[in-house]
Amino acid sequence: MRRIDKLLIANRGEIAARIIRTCRDMGIATVAIYADPDRNAPFVRQADEAIYIGPPMASASFLAIEKIVELARNAGADAIHPGYGFLAENADFAQACSDAGLIFIGPAPEAIRGMGNKSAAKEIARAAGVPVIPGFNAEGLSETAMARQCEELGFPVLLKAAAGGGGKGMRVVAATADLPAAIAAARREAKAAFGDDALLVERYIESPRHIEVQILGDQHGKLIHCFERECSIQRRYQKIIEEAPSPAVDETLRQRMTEAALRLGARLRYSSLGTVEMVLDPAGSFYFLEVNTRLQVEHPVTEAVTGLDLVRLQIEVAEGAPLPLEQKDVVLRGHAIECRLCAEDPAREFLPSTGRLAAWKAPELVGVRCDTGVISGSEITIHYDSLIAKLIAYDFTRPAAARRMAQALRQTRVQGLASNRDLLLRIVESDPFLRGELDTHFLVRHGDLCDVSPQQTEIDRTHALAAALWQQSRRREQAAVLRTIPSGWRNSPSQMQTVVFEARGNAIAIGYQMAGNHRATATIDGAPHSVAVIDAEPDAIALEIDGMQRRFSVTEAADTCFVYS
């Protein structure tokens, strides 16, 4: 065994904070690396040490292998944890760590290389007796030859980049006539993303579910699984909601899938955490997709239903310790759902949103975990992933976990830029989700969930009234003289004070006239309302509107009021 006393994290944001948390529990000192946008990020302050690595471009920072290895050695680190993304599945990085005498928290370079190319990975899976999707390797084939093989395979087909995943270089092709344009586009995208334009072609499975099995091996030959996760709800081939266990997998299917995953892991002599990803067709047949040789974004749902700390086990295995668990010790209890809260606008085809988080508040609920790398005032930039936070809800049953997740999303406050919070809430409350009717086309079939709720206009109108009265309360609180006089007071009451807000392109006219006892007469677009200010604080106001009391959180930035209720 090689003891790890200090660990450098070659990543950022929420996953860096997540790794720091476990290292602190284990008594391992941590070193963060940060680029310009993250100078004041929470993970930088949470680490024991933090080292500036350079400009925000990933090529000059989080993808700079030699620079990262040098920083680790200079800091006196024993090991490097790559997190996920960036260099997490880069065999050259794992080899560079080993060559420098550093422990790489992940599998051996050979295992990463074996799974890094989808064509090679399929052959290894086939040799391990794991079902693979019918298809062929298009490397070296002309368009004519590809068309001939596609016709033999049967349309529709799926073009995939051989060198990587994440939806890059992926195209669904319905007919021979569509192939040339799709091949050209897929090759361009694959080349830009992975430096390799080689393609795979597979039979396209209609309405598939995306199921993955978590495996964990040590350096002494022991290999176990930690059951499965369902990751079918995606946008642009990127997961946004994951859960464990899958509502589609019964005990018989679970045994078949986990046994297949373990056969593949044994074939690779796999040590560390790994995820065997599969597709499940409507008939109940499953096929190998790929192996992610790293910690997954969605690992918390597995931790919730097994009670394990997967990062701790990953580190201990890297030190050379034997797994402290037998397969019988890993028990599945309850249900967990994870939602990825991202800075993007679902109503505008998930256009990324950048800017400053005017206000951020995570939910504080029993059974809910929040992994995040932001605080109020954090900047979401164009340089990195749009992930703001991951919310994980756990309960004894799936319906109870979904209800808890909905409550957590309602309590989550993310203001200052567009986010997918409301979409996530609509999904977990939707009948198809609650019935477990999931597949990778869920958002295509239920595209209306991405639209702004019909109730949102009325909510905006109420929020505009709250903003207006909060502003007048702040003005009175900050007044140098006559602070107790109602805002806009006259000896002879006349016209109301007015303010016009804009929300989602709609103008909302608010009128109000304050009276004694914090009461007011108010109008919203001319419609009268009876209002009382129950309480006003620097970041909130409690109102009684037509006999209904509600509390509103308010943040003001420049010429914008962000209101939450």
DSSP assignment of 85-108 equals STTTT-HHHHHHHHHTTPEESSS-
Which two three-digit tokens encode residue 455?
């109730």
Beta strands 351-352 and 344-345 are antiparallel
Q: DSSP code of 516?
A: G
The residue among 233, 240, 295, 261 whose CA lies nearest residue 440 is: 233
Going by C-beta distance under 8 Å and a sequence separation of 6 or more, which residues neighbour residue 208? 232, 279, 280, 281, 439, 440
Give the span between the Cα atoms of 40 and 304, in whole angstroms. 30
Is 370:390 a contact under the CB 8 Å cutoff?
Answer: yes
Average confidence (pLDDT) over 34-60:
95
User: Whats the size of the chain, residue-wise?
Assistant: 565
Residue that the structure tokens 């914090």 belong to: 518
Going by C-beta distance under 8 Å and a sequence separation of 6 or more, which residues neighbour residue 295? 15, 83, 84, 88, 273, 310, 311, 314
274, containing H or E segment: strand 272-280
pLDDT level of residue 487 (50, 70, 90 thresholds): low
The distance of Cα 165 from the centroid of its chain, to the nearest Å, equals 16
Query: What are the backbone dihedrals phi and psi of residue 549, each rounded to the nearest 5 degrees, phi first?
Result: -90, 135
Residue that the structure tokens 């930035």 belong to: 557
Residue, of 482 and 162, whose pLDDT is higher: 162
Give the span between the Cα atoms of 275 and 452, in whole angstroms. 35
Residues of the chain above pLDDT 90, percent? 88
Which two three-digit tokens encode residue 116?
């890094």
Average confidence (pLDDT) over 519-527:
95
What pLDDT, on the 0 to 100 scale, is given for residue 192?
Answer: 86
What pLDDT, on the 0 to 100 scale, is given for residue 169?
Answer: 87
Give the span between the Cα atoms of 326 and 306, in whole angstroms. 13
Strand order in the sheet with 272-280: 286-292, 272-280, 209-217, 223-235, 238-244, 335-342, 387-395, 368-372
What pLDDT, on the 0 to 100 scale, is given for residue 162?
Answer: 87
Active site residues: 294
* Residue 548 CB coordination number (10 Å): 8
Going by C-beta distance under 8 Å and a sequence separation of 6 or more, which residues neighbour residue 470? 536, 540, 541, 552, 554, 561, 563
What pLDDT, on the 0 to 100 scale, is given for residue 491?
Answer: 57
What pLDDT, on the 0 to 100 scale, is given for residue 136?
Answer: 93
What pLDDT, on the 0 to 100 scale, is given for residue 508?
Answer: 98
Give the span between the Cα atoms of 467 and 462, in whole angstroms. 9
pLDDT level of residue 525 (50, 70, 90 thresholds): very high
Whole-angstrom CA distances from 430 to 403, 404, 442 are: 11, 14, 11
DSSP assignment of 276-318 equals EEEEE-TTS-EEEEEEE-S--TTHHHHHHHH---HHHHHHHHH
pLDDT of 348-357, one tens digit each? 999 999 999 9
Which two three-digit tokens encode residue 545?
């509107």
CA angle centred on 295, ends 208 and 60, rounded to 5°: 110
pLDDT level of residue 437 (50, 70, 90 thresholds): very high
17 residue type, one letter: A
Residue, of 508 and 116, whose pLDDT is higher: 508
pLDDT level of residue 483 (50, 70, 90 thresholds): low
Which two three-digit tokens encode residue 461?
């109108």
pLDDT exceeds 70 at position 482: no
Is 49:33 a contact under the CB 8 Å cutoff?
Answer: no
pLDDT exceeds 80 at position 558: yes
Whole-angstrom CA distances from 90 to 63, 105, 124 are: 10, 12, 19
Query: What are the backbone dihedrals phi and psi of residue 345, each rounded to the nearest 5 degrees, phi first?
Result: -110, 100
What pLDDT, on the 0 to 100 scale, is given for residue 481?
Answer: 63
Is 103:78 a contact under the CB 8 Å cutoff?
Answer: yes
pLDDT level of residue 82 (50, 70, 90 thresholds): very high
CB contact burial 502-538 (16+ within 10 A = b; e otherwise): ebeeeebebbbbbeeebebebbbeeeebebbbeebee
pLDDT exceeds 70 at position 273: yes
Give the span between the Cα atoms of 218 and 518, in whole angstroms. 67
Sign (positive or negative) of CA dihedral 85, 88, 92, 93: positive
**Average of per-residue pLDDT values in the chain:** 94
Phi-psi region of 18 (alpha: psi -120 to 50; beta: other; left: phi over 0): alpha
Which two three-digit tokens encode residue 402?
């979904």
Lowest mean pLDDT among 161-170, 256-265, 297-306, 502-511: 161-170
Which two three-digit tokens encode residue 4?
């790890």
Average confidence (pLDDT) over 545-553:
96
Residue that the structure tokens 């050379």 belong to: 320
463, containing H or E segment: helix 456-477
Is 534:552 a contact under the CB 8 Å cutoff?
Answer: no
Q: DSSP code of 329?
A: G
The residue among 244, 268, 264 whose CA lies nearest residue 254 is: 244
pLDDT of 195-246, one tens digit each? 889 999 999 998 999 999 999 999 999 999 999 999 999 998 899 999 999 9
Residues of the chain above pLDDT 70, percent? 97
Average confidence (pLDDT) over 60-85:
97
Give the span between the Cα atoms of 292 and 387, in whole angstroms. 19
Average confidence (pLDDT) over 389-413:
98
